[in-house]
Amino acid sequence: MRYEGAIYRPPSEAKSLILQITIGCSHNRCTFCVAFMDKKYRERELGEIEADINEAARSLGGVRRVFLADGNALAMQTEKLLAVLKKLYSAFANMERIGIYASPQDLLEKSEDELEKIKKAGLGIVYLGVETGNEELLNWIRKGATRDEIIEAGLRARKAGLVLSITVINGLGGAAKMEAHARDTATLLNKIDPEYLGLLTLMVCDGTPIARQVEKGEFAVPGQLEILKEIEMMLQHLELSNCVFRANHASNYLPLRGTLPGDKEKLLNILEKVRLSGDLRQLRPEYLRGL
């Protein structure tokens, strides 16, 4: 397998074969994101991707899960993506699930018919970075999609039968917009009602526009206990029908997991207890946090 640059994947794809079908991110403008700053977006040639799949089929036995990278691989032209999916299923007889990263724009740029074809060809799960449901913050982080567009993108994925895993970032609103970020993100999620929800906590990385805003004093990163309060507020507003909830990424201060709505009260109690104790030793120390 050939890989170009640093590879990112969701925590739940730790055991998957990573296949890099695109390089970088076609948007690459979000102010907090350091992941693909050094890469110029392009689709890899189909022949090259097929050669990687053949090599993996020869050298790795029993591949059951594949994750398609990089940052928003769903941006790939539909016909080419369909060919990649077909090749993967023919190369790996035991294939159970194929996942992919997508931006809201990628879902909106594909027609409903295209998304249905992609689903039929065997794409199982789409990881969609939403970050926030607050319009002002979406604009500020240069997400490239409005709140309404994100809702439409999520609903399109669901309508096509794709399993949807949404990621949001706590801390993006700073202390000043914490409440608006929590409330608007929850109400956006309620409209989409995804099967999976993953929380990350903001990490300010060198070289990003947000890091420069911090340096200039234009943005104050919330403290650990404020982040816990924000997650509590978000959870209080969430009304999801059946969602696997995870906040166990390395960026999070307090690892949490459960199913919503069943575990909502339990999660809220844990958060409140730790927050009111003020005991930072119960939280992941800064030096152990990562992307």
Nearer to ligand SF4, 167 or 252 (CB): 167
171 binds ligand SF4 (CB under 6 A): no
Distance of CA 104 to the CA centre of its chain: 11
Q: Contacting ligand SF4 (CB under 6 A), which of 17, 23, 25, 166?
A: 25
35 binds ligand SF4 (CB under 6 A): yes
Most distant pair of Cα atoms in the chain: their distance: 57
**Smallest gap, in angstroms, from Cβ of residue 149 to ligand SF4?**
13
**Residues comprising the chain, all counted:** 291
27 binds ligand SF4 (CB under 6 A): yes
Q: Contacting ligand SF4 (CB under 6 A), which of 22, 72, 134, 170?
A: 72
| β-strands 65-69, 22-23 pairing | unpaired
Dig out the tokens for 45 from the structure: 């040639």
Binding range to ligand SF4, per CB under 6 A, among 24-32, 54-62, 89-97, 227-235: 24-32
Contacts with 67 (C-beta within 8 Å, 6 or more apart), sequence order = 9, 10, 13, 16, 17, 18, 19, 98, 99, 100
The 3-state DSSP class for residue 197 equals strand
Query: Going residue by residue from 190 to 219, which x/- string records binding to ligand SF4, judged by CB under 6 A?
Result: ------------------------------
| β-strands 42-43, 97-102 pairing | unpaired
Nearer to ligand SF4, 69 or 182 (CB): 69
**Smallest gap, in angstroms, from Cβ of residue 8 to ligand SF4?**
8
102 binds ligand SF4 (CB under 6 A): no
Residue 38's nearest CA partner among 12, 87, 4, 84 is 4
30 binds ligand SF4 (CB under 6 A): yes
Sign of the Cα pseudo-torsion (206, 207, 210, 213, in order): positive
Binding range to ligand SF4, per CB under 6 A, among 22-30, 170-178, 210-218, 228-236: 22-30
Distance of CA 208 to the CA centre of its chain: 19
28 binds ligand SF4 (CB under 6 A): yes
Spatial separation of the C-alpha atoms in residues 9 and 129, rounded to whole Å? 12
Q: How many residues bind ligand SF4 (CB under 6 A)?
A: 12
Nearer to ligand SF4, 74 or 178 (CB): 74
Nearer to ligand SF4, 30 or 81 (CB): 30
- Contact of 31 with 210, CB cutoff 8 Å: yes
**Smallest gap, in angstroms, from Cβ of residue 256 to ligand SF4?**
22
The 3-state DSSP class for residue 23 equals strand
Binding residues (CB under 6 A) for ligand SF4: these are: 25, 27-30, 33, 35-36, 71-72, 103, 129
